[in-house]
Amino acid sequence: MHDDRHIVEDRLRRVLEERIKPAVHSSPQPLAVARWDAPGEPVPVAEGLAAEYVSAAVGQEWGPAWGTTWFRVSGRVPADWADRTVEAVVDLGFERSMPGFQCEGLVYRADGEAVKALNPRNDWVRFPDVPPGGELEFYVEAAANPILNVQRPTREGDRLTASDRPLYRLNRVELAVFESEVWELVQDLEVLGGLMHALPVEDARRWEVLRAVERALDAVDLGDVAGTAAGARAQLAGVLAAPARASAHRVSAVGHAHIDSAWLWPLRETVRKVARTASNMVNLMGDHPELVFAMSQAQQLDWIKEHRPEVYARVREKVAGGQFVPVGGMWVESDTNMVGGEAMVRQFVYGKKFFLEEFGIETREVWLPDSFGYTAAMPQIVKLAGADWFLTQKISWSQTNKFPHHTFWWEGIDGTRVFTHFPPVDTYNSDLSGREMAHAARNYREKGAGSRSLAPFGFGDGGGGPTREMLARAARLKDLEGSPRVEIEKPSAFFEQAHAEYRDAPVWSGELYLELHRGTYTSQARTKQGNRRSESMLREAELWAATAAVRVSGYGYPYAEFDRIWKTVLLHQFHDILPGTSIAWVHREARETYARLQKELTALTLAAQQALAGTGDRSLVFNAAPHSRHGVPAGGAREAAPAGPVGCHERPGGGHILANELIRVEIDGRGLVVSVRDLASGREAVAPGSAANLLQIHPDFPNLWDAWDVDAFYRHSVTDLTDHTALTVEAADDSATVTVHREYGSSTLVQRLTLAGGSPRLDCEVEADWQETEKFLKAAFPLDVKADRSASETQFGHVFRPTHTNTSWETAKFEICAHRFLHVEEPGWGAALVNDSTYGHDVTRDVRRDGGQTTTVRLSLLRAPRYPDPETDHGTHVLRYALVPGACIGDAVREGHRMNLPERTVRGEREVAPLVTVDSEQIVVASVKLAEDRSGDVVLRLYESYGGRAVAALTPGFPVTSVTAVDLLERPREEDAEAVVSGYEGVRVTLRPFQILTLRLSR
């Protein structure tokens, strides 16, 4: 037989697109349209409905960027359309290929009830209660969101800079007859066409489908599609009825709409996006009881509750009925690389509390399809939150190495394992096409051991969710020869079945590093700094507020304020906000929000400290860090011991020498650090012939995804900033500072190097007026250390990464994330770099002529990508970091906390004893707070910080009736009961490496 498949395939494509699909709606009747353009920001629904409308017409332009136009649509259903299915079809000016990234609308009845959303793949609405001959009226709240997913710089990403030209043209507003048999024919042909393309050419099934499709196309009269659709479908019935093979892969299809809480749209637009999507889903569920829709991100459901209570009421009904399924258990789908440990805990605390309180549901899975890599601390946090399973998708985006598993046990830094699935469909926005389902089956890596995978389906990113077309595909693929078996079901059903059949799944130990989007550790430095400072200030405020609540009569713990502030901080940890990949509007608002929160937290902290200190004239130093300093205990306040002396004198050959009793620093005439000597060991930290704290600038123009990516070739070109315009020194008895002014391009950079009395570290500060474009600023520290691996702080511990590039896996980690410290060492001696708001780092090594090894650690300070925010990082920044020579891991932990939790001085009369003390620096008190249930119990979160076993005595500074090990939601946790032994004088805790232990102390 001749190979004519391409002719049939091309025929199918054209006939479908040009004849059959347009025939789904027949007998179109124009509807009358009026419009009202809302001034400024979106208005409440009642205001939109009551506005003064003016006559409008199809073809009119509407919508400047971020504007809202309300359309009133009216007409009469023809009296002779009895027994016909009638739909209004509204095309707001859609570009069909980009649902979620352009204009959208929400349809309302005249009484304000939301009906469903309109988007490029969902442009219809039914009103079955309007009889033939009856009057029809509805309203559309149309959002003119600009199309920004085009990977080029634009000013449209902020309403302050966007143009005022109309972006869209109203294309179609009609009443039409929905031809159900034609619609069903479309679904038949699309499923079979997708399956046909996915099958091997050698497979007889492909040719069987091809011939059936050809017969169906022959049966269609292109002049009377509606009249001949049933006959065409009859030609396809046989191939659609053939059952799947017994060994066919099984796909659990879960309806979903991955909605970015902010990205190419601001937060306020996401509030409307989730309302539109939720309305779509409850509307679709009414006609399709088989639909199961999973929605993550408690924040988004809370938005619906707050802003659209009538939609929320319908959501609650569908949750109770089991169709609308809350998943994930987090406040938002956050970044996991940069979120601090306590903040990661609170993502689960606030997320799971919301689902429990609102729906009575304890979510068992963590749902993070789109975050840019996953911390190795996550498995333990997942388990402590009471969850059993983890789902991600993004690792399929890795550029270099293909991840070896789709279903596996993920082991964290402490040894905790969580059952994890990575859907082989390779998308979290599946449309359930035959092609995608075939890819999932082919791609599945667990063949022979496991037989099932999960596929999240529905339009996402900008929302939309599943459509009736997707459900039709699922029905046809339920049991179809040549295809995996597709079953719509809850995520829990998939995980229970997958776990049951594959309990001995392979183990992946350590982080799930995404070999892409490495620039997200650095982009939008002010957003990252705002996050870090908010996390630190929340720790301080909760610590002192809890202490005051226990110690001071009449002091009221500010539960409501902490609840609101935490939720705001958690929202801004969303995986396109904290990573710096949202539009300018989002980051402008984030900066404003962080500034407001920091003022509030400062006030809360001061109020608690003043309540504790009382009135008086003593200068009391409050130490919120988990380690004592200057004679002030962790979590306490007293007069600090004076700092030791610092010497400062000129260096032969130019520059200055700074020294205290712990370290000696040489700064040469260029303002570069050429020596940092650890006086206790006599070891030199800076590699011979090198200079530390060297600012370096690279070109930064990745192949794609500007704000997201740095590509390895950026290292091929570098400019060292060694010239300066001024160098000055200021010295006092207890500190000395060398200040260096430098210029590059249109930017100025002021470096300050400070050595304080009694300090084991050299503090560095860069004040940058950064005006560059597509440049990458780094600070380099070439260290005389033979380090085979680096240790980067992550949540509640640290993760080791090789410094070599033996394999492609190590080579791909050319940019890495660290929290407060990065540490390198050889047996007996090491060094650490600590920072107050920097996350991106790189570590390289080289062998010198003298045979020694130089390990160079660099901090990634600033970038300047142009998309999606053309002015990313422009402006003034103050970035702080420090070199700690002779540091072990414990020193790195201590100094990292100290840099992020500065001492605060308050006038008063009373010293403040710590609320709790732990007699081992190995065990860090991560947080002190009052219990979420407002019982007044004190809750402590501890973790082992060195990576070894630890035993310590914990002594409460107040009367305690019981000490209970609890989970993150502060419920008793039997698994941790043996870690706590209570005695007459205190409590003994025993922690395994990197173990997190939460204790509830009843007063």
* Residue type at 161 in one-letter notation: T
Looking at residue 692, the DSSP 8-state letter turns out to be B
Name the token pair of 860.
């990634």
Three-state SS for 64? coil
Amino acid at 974: E
The CB density around residue 238, as the number of other CB atoms within 10 Å, is 11
The 3-state DSSP class for residue 614 equals: coil
Task: Give the contacts of 535 (CB within 8 A, at least 6 positions apart).
Answer: 340, 342, 343, 569
Q: Which residue has the tokens 């707001």?
A: 92
Q: Residues, the chain, total? A: 1003
Q: Is 40 left (phi over 0), alpha (psi -120 to 50) or beta?
A: left
Q: Shortest CA distance to 655 belongs to which of 665, 664, 666, 668?
A: 668
The phi and psi torsions of 96 (rounded to 5 degrees) equal: -65, -20
Backbone angles phi, psi at 136, to 5 degrees: -120, 135
**N-terminal to C-terminal alpha carbon distance within the chain:** 86
User: Ramachandran region of residue 561, left (φ > 0), alpha (ψ -120 to 50) or beta?
Assistant: alpha
Distance CA 672, CA 563 (A): 46
Residue 662 is inside which H or E element, if any? none
Residue labelled with tokens 């100025």 = 748
What span, in angstroms and rounded, lies between the C-alpha atoms of 593 and 568? Answer: 8
Cα 918-924-925 angle, rounded to 5 deg? 75
Q: Is 10 a catalytic residue?
A: no
Supply the DSSP symbol for 791: E
Instruction: Render the burial of 729-760: b for 16+ CB within 10 Å, e for the rest.
Output: bebeebbbbbbbebebeebbbbbbbbbbbbbb
Report the C-alpha gap between 343 and 594 in whole angstroms. 15
Cα gap 305→873, rounded to integer Å: 35
**SS3 label, residue 599:** helix
Instruction: Name the residue with tokens 């029809």.
Output: 136
Give the Cα separation of 495 and 421 in Å (integer).
8
**Residue pair 68/92 in contact by the 8 Å Cβ criterion:** no
Return d(Cα 345, Cα 795) in angstroms, integer: 9
**Would you say 775 and 698 are in contact if contact means Cβ atoms under 8 Å apart?**
yes
Catalytic option among 188, 370, 869, 873: 370
Contacts of 932 (CB under 8 A, 6+ apart): 349, 353, 939, 969, 970
Closest CA to 924 of 961, 898, 888: 898
Parallel/antiparallel/unpaired status of strands 485-488 and 250-256: parallel
74 beta partners: 32, 137
Are 199 and 442 contacting, i.e. CB atoms less than 8 angstroms apart? no
Q: Which residues contact 317 (CB under 8 A, 6 or more apart)?
A: 282
d(CA 968, CA 384): 6
- Taking alpha carbons only, the member of 672, 805, 664 closest to residue 740 is 672
* Nearest in space to 330 (alpha carbons), one of 255, 280, 261: 261
Q: Give the residue among 275, 349, 263, 261 at the shortest CA–CA distance from 313.
A: 275
> 3 CB contacts (<8 Å, ≥6 apart)?
none
Catalytic amino acids? 370
